[in-house]
Amino acid sequence: MSYNGFETLKVDVDGPIATVTIRREQQLNALSSVVIAELTQIVGELEVSTDVRVVIVTGAGEKAFVAGADIAEMVEMTPIQATAFAEMGGSLGNAIETSEKPWIAAVNGFALGGGCELALACDFIHASEKATFGQPEVKLGVIPGFGGTQRLSRRVGVAKAKELCMTGDTVKAPEALRIGLVDAVWPDAELLPKVRELAMRIAANGPLAVAEVKRLIHQGQSTSLEHALALEQRSFGLLFATTDQREGMSAFLAKPKRAAQFKGQ
């Protein structure tokens, strides 16, 4: 299936991997309402694909992943319009976070404000050595509106999140790795190949099982350990009703052992 007709996105599907590239290079890929709407649309379209198993999101050009939300669009917003804009960005983050597909942010430059928040909504953040992260909204007299205060604190801890959000300071990729904001840092030329390697390792596994891992870890962050463990046990049992479970275990026990051919069923 092809994914055409987007004004601000380029979507490439290669085997089980979809790569979504934000294309507003002159605006450093800033998140306008159009970009947010198109990203939300592609999340939904990829969600129902039986072929795509992992999604990579990145930015066009050499300077930015996403340099922030579109300040030129925001500057004259009323409080009601600003709230609607924040809700729009929040819905995008929630769609990525609750998607059954794993999403990997390949951060190839500036990931500031809304760009950092977009990366934070993904399951993994891999960065180029030249990447820069930050939530500088306080320098504009506002706060992160797309989930930054909440997802950042869950990534780096409360104190560090307060520091970054209250000072508006930015951090380079090595420091972002040290504080746990990113999962890996690569030389610029290796970023997308390394991210694709990770995506392929995930895509080789049972997609129903991968989706359950994502769902359970996400849900487990906001409930008691006792309840989360009960959810895990229930999901473990339910997966034994799938074709993928039978295929995976049969392939493991085959002599010689063979690679499982999962179908997401």
6-24 pLDDT per residue, tens? 999 999 999 999 999 999 9
* Residue 59 shares a structural domain with residue 180: yes
* Residue 70 shares a structural domain with residue 45: yes
At residue 187, the 3 state secondary structure works out as coil
* Residue 107 shares a structural domain with residue 232: no
Provide the terminal-to-terminal Cα distance of the chain, rounded to the nearest Å: 20
* Phi, psi angles (nearest 5°) of residue 71: -65, -35
pLDDT digit string, tens, across residues 86-105:
999 999 999 999 999 999 99
Residue 258 located in a structural domain? no
Residue 3 located in a structural domain? no
* Positions of the chain with pLDDT lower than 70, given as ranges: 1
In this predicted structure, what is the pLDDT of residue 4? 80
Is the peptide bond between 79 and the residue preceding it cis, with omega within 30 degrees of 0? no
CA 262 to each of CA 179, 195, 201: distance values in angstroms, whole numbers, following the listed order: 36, 22, 13
pTM, two decimals, is 0.95
CATH number for 228 = 1.10.12.10
Q: Which of 179, 203, 227 is the last residue of a domain?
A: 203
* Residue 232 shares a structural domain with residue 152: no
Q: Which residue has the tokens 């499982």?
A: 260
Residue type, 16: P
Q: Name the nearest CA neighbour of 244 among 199, 204, 216, 214.
A: 204
In this predicted structure, what is the pLDDT of residue 2? 73
Element (H, E) at 73: helix 71-74
- Number of Cβ within a 10 Å radius of residue 190: 14
Buried b (16+ CB within 10 A) or exposed e, 80-114: eeeeebbebbbebbebbbebbbbbbbbbbbbbbbb
* Residue 149 shares a structural domain with residue 52: yes
* Residue 125 shares a structural domain with residue 231: no
**CA distance linking residue 260 with residue 245, whole number of Å:** 10
* Residue 160 shares a structural domain with residue 34: yes
* Residue 233 shares a structural domain with residue 162: no
In this predicted structure, what is the pLDDT of residue 259? 92
* Residue 145 shares a structural domain with residue 240: no
Q: Which residue has the tokens 């039978």?
A: 246
Residue type, 164: L
* Residue 149 shares a structural domain with residue 242: no
Catalytically active residues are 117, 137
Residue 175 located in a structural domain? yes
CATH number for 34 = 3.90.226.10
CA 108 to each of CA 26, 58, 88, 97: distance values in angstroms, whole numbers, following the listed order: 15, 7, 24, 21
In this predicted structure, what is the pLDDT of residue 137? 97
* Residue 183 shares a structural domain with residue 248: no
In this predicted structure, what is the pLDDT of residue 3? 81
Work out how many domains the chain is built from and give that number.
Answer: 2
Residue 155 located in a structural domain? yes
Domain interval for residue 145? 9-203
Buried b (16+ CB within 10 A) or exposed e, 206-218: bbbbbbbbbebee
In this predicted structure, what is the pLDDT of residue 257? 87
The strand pair at 9-14 and 17-22 is best described as antiparallel
* Residue 174 shares a structural domain with residue 230: no
